[in-house]
Structure 1
């Protein structure tokens, strides 16, 4: 029986964070991401120092999935601070910095561009007029394909982006060969006469999802992540570094509650609105979140298979939603952050007119579950450091 694609979401056309600087914007509600960046600084410092030995007169840096707000240029500033200090210690001039900010075309690049003068002024104030110079470019497009000239990048960074898939293809029937990630042998996944029909009322992988759904999600991640590595292998110079943070899981169980719990709660909220007649049943059945949270084993396997990068480190860290930079409760952080991230995609599927009620319902569910299952709200983040092989 041939595979039948039931639903495909073109993420590049509809996915972006909430724009602007308002109460529900990503710029206002990205403290969670900033805490993650702060917590993983030592990974980037080590990788950046490795490329400081280069005598190149230019240094190309790309922030992939840059979004908008104060986090957008956070790592770029960090990179320049580290390189500047290293050059001062060695008594040599700093290179010319080429900073590339990438995200999908729907991203609020304008807000970032409007903040650039302040960014440039701060460089002059803290490092003097002889530093750099530094040039910042906006590069709209999907990082699952080529974005930059060959061998133009020395360091690549991405945070909280690579778990998003380019699309979700759920097959109704599948009979395919999958590589066993642990032994390297091929095993046959038997025909499963279920696909998205068997995933009804779920919006992500769950314990009740049939194997065809789990395999379809992994296959899409496999294709996307391999394309990501292949594209970067052309753009990153030999010896160049790449560090990325991705929502993931320690367990090899793809339906583990690590990270998936939050998406399950959004699904509960959507189901509740379906039961009230606010959302059409078919809209729920045809929707699946375009994300896959990998395990360290899966990442190691895919990186090794692509053969362009050597793995320096893969480490799982726990991250809570509370932040010293906000007075919000952990529950409020969950709700406002997820709304800033997911509202455009959910509005595209279910309609803008139901967003207030949807997130109000989600808020009630989060506050109720948090009082009973606080530990379930801890997020697993995988930090990966790679070096481009020769």
Structure 2
């Protein structure tokens, strides 16, 4: 759902990229990197969007579509084999699931690139377009904390100011380092579209950033009361992510200095939005899960898919089923009072010449 909301921004970035090059300099090969691509059903969605956008823009300009090199990047633990198996489907379906006229599409070549995007991944000035979706809110490491963030697993209204400051400083280091690495890898005039979980408020400890993590903290706290989790273990567990504000992002882009910020927009992704996607098979399946188990079941499955390794590494695998079942039950119990949503920020950048 979040990726589809950025479709227009991605298409505009590709169109601008192609139109800023005249017929003589129009690229014979457009090289793209999708950073933090994961290995789920949405992994190839952005690639489909780029392929279609390049084909449409080339047609509008009366030029032959360039070849497209798509580099799929994630950590070495990602299941790249499943991604490559799914590539066959990309040859037949467009981003909205309709049959694709393969003859009209550019020639595409895919590469898997394992490694952390907080460091260099590609040769100097080799990329035309970079994309990343819901990855950059995750930090390269948990910041060193001077105080205990007691009773919380992320920033909240009761978090000490020193903890909040440490989180921001780690995000600042990671985000500017990311921009610096991409500036070295991208050609002048290249485009980059980044989407990350964020917040609309100035205070990083505002509850807006915590609404999806509070139920997990509550579930863990209940397990502490029942003697199933050690209190010290609970108090030492903090999620390595930071939901930045638009102002923080704009300031860091300006401070790093390699990119022009072309566009920024904020939107909400409602965890129940799939209820309205009646033509989506996955949405129908998720709706059935909701009908049977409550809205929290679907939210719990999505959250578990993202953070299960973090929970398992800290608390052990034995608690996983119990804690995420409790998490889902808490979400269901509060869903009539609270709308579970994810504040998202998308930015479109141009690499300075």
Fold shared, TM-score > 0.5 on shorter chain: yes
For the residue of structure 2 that corresponds to 1:262, the secondary structure is coil
Which shows bigger deviation, 242-251 or 257-266? 257-266
Within a 5 Å distance, the mapping from 1:45-60 to structure 2 comes to 45-53=11-19, 54=21, 55-60=26-31
User: Match for residue 336 of structure 2?
Assistant: 371
Report how far residue 333 of structure 1 moved. 2.8
Q: Does 1:152 align with 2:115?
A: no
Distance 2:134 2:323 in 1: 24
Q: Distance in 2 between matches of 1:389 and 1:334?
A: 40
Question: 1:350-384 CA deviation, whole Å, 9 max, x = no partner?
Answer: 11111011111111111112122x23x12211111
CA distance in 1, matches of 2:234, 2:296: 25
Structure 1 gap ranges (5+): 1-34, 173-194
Alignment of 1:388 with 2:351, yes or no, is yes
Structure 1 residues 167-246: aligned runs within 5 Å: 167-172=141-146, 195-196=147-148, 199-246=149-196
Q: Hey, what does 2:82 align to over in structure 1?
A: 111
1-structure distance, mates of 2:14, 2:63: 17
Q: Normalised by the size of structure 1, how large is the TM-score? A: 0.81
Higher relative contact order (CA 8 A, sep 6+): 1
User: 1:160-181 CA distances to partner (integer Å, 9 max, x unpaired)?
Assistant: 1110001112332xxxxxxxxx
* Residue 258 of structure 1: aligned partner: 208
Displacement of 1:255 in angstroms is 1.0
Identify which range, 214-223 or 272-281, moves more after superposition.
272-281
- Whether the aligned pair in 1 keeps the contact of 2:92 and 2:101 (CA below 8 Å) is no
- Given candidates 83, 91, 114, the residue that maps to 2:62 is 91
CA shift digits 1:144-167 (9 cap, x unpaired) = 111111111111111111100011
CA deviation string 1:82-119 (max 9, x = no partner) = 11122223332211111011111111212101222333
Distance in structure 1 (CA, Å) of the matches to 2:266 and 2:105? 36
Residue 307 (structure 1) aligns with: 257
Q: CA deviation at 1:297?
A: 0.5
| Segment drifting more, 257-266 vs 308-317 | 257-266
CA contact (8 A) 1:248 1:258 kept: no
- Give secondary structure in 1 for the equivalent of 2:122: coil
1:358 is aligned to 323
**Count of residue pairs the alignment pairs up:** 329
Distance 1:231 1:61 in 2: 15
Matches of 1:280 and 1:331, distance apart in 2: 25
Query: 1:303-332 deviations in whole A, cap 9, x for unaligned?
Result: 000000011111111221121132424433
TM-align CA RMSD: 1.7
| Pairing partner for 2:100 from 126, 130, 146 | 126
Partner Cα distance (2:67, 2:180) in 1: 26
**1:331–1:366: 8 Å Cα contact kept in structure 2?**
yes
Work out whether residues 165 and 291 of structure 1, in 8 Å CA contact, stay in contact via their aligned partners in 2. yes
Equivalent of residue 300 in structure 2, options 326, 335, 338: 335
